Structure 1
Amino acid sequence: MVITCAGIATPGRILGSGGPLSLDEFKQVLDINLVGTVNVLRLAAARMSANEPVDGDRGAVIMTSSISAYDGQIGQAAYAASKGGITALTLSAARDLAEHGIRVNTIAPGIFATPLMLGLPDKARKTLEQRVPHPPRLGTPEEFASLAAHIIDNQMINGEVIRLDGALRMPPK
């Protein structure tokens, strides 16, 4: 089993006050978030394919996307595109690896208690928390882990992208 959690979010509008979005910065976000995920996926799949099957499974891969794949915000074109790529990859990868007994799923978290979020000023963090319909708070690492464990345990979950966001839909800004 492997879980990918790469993610950087270099902000930038496609056309901002300083001109067009830097293509190098856009590529860097895609390289880390999307290409890095694909690299882990392909190498893990190669190793897992040699495993002895357990109830038909040789392994499971859980990739991490984001609700930004669906709700990309202003100034987050690179991040949204990279996480959208992971979302789009999920079903194709699950189908590609099915013959090898490897399942592929993706978790698309909303706002979680990561070091980045916890480093925000209290007022900014509280404003974000209040946007979550229920429960109105940041998600916890334990909640992410609980979903990941369930995905691993449940053989019928394959080729799915599961939002983990308390019904949050991000506004444009």
Structure 2
Amino acid sequence: MKNRVLIVIMLAAVLLSGAITFSVQADERVGIFVNGQEIDADIPGQIINDRVMVPVRFVTEALGGRVEWNEFHKRVIITTEPELKLMKLADEATTWPYWYENGKLYLEYRNMLQLVREYYPHPSYVPNFFKSSNTFVFNNKTIDLSAQQKGDFHVVAIDELKKAGIINYTWDEKNGNLTFKDPGK
């Protein structure tokens, strides 16, 4: 049973990745290439019953993922992190990752604070975000923000800031571009 699960997982990994190619000659090992680079796996790929079997750990790690074995449930767990999309502000590139999900725009909370400080400066008010309660305080307004953990990032939906009248922007989802209307600069 353990071998059957491993074979199914290895085959699934092979079929799901269009970035993997194989080179096979009669009676030779199966070469595994990921994005044009050959993987030097300690366990070579094999052809078993007319199916190509490759070591899932080496392929997954070559693609930037992680593989874990759950002994209790007899499962191989493969996880990958999606590539971060970086936001543009008024068509200028930034180093700020963003997430757009279910109609909401999310930024890492520190980037959100920097955005408010730079684009909507006020001499008397300093924006603050309290991570423990996911609340934003600015100009005597307290706003609860939708927050999520995305890998190493604590992200907040900035739509609530727009609804509260603190910032005003348009979002171009196709180009990942945020443009402010009437910024405080």
With normalisation by structure 2, the TM-score equals 0.24
Q: Quick check: which has more Rg, 1 or 2?
A: 2
Q: As a proportion of its length, which structure holds more helix?
A: 1
Tell me which of the two structures has the higher relative contact order, counting C-alpha pairs closer than 8 angstroms and 6 or more residues apart. Answer: 1
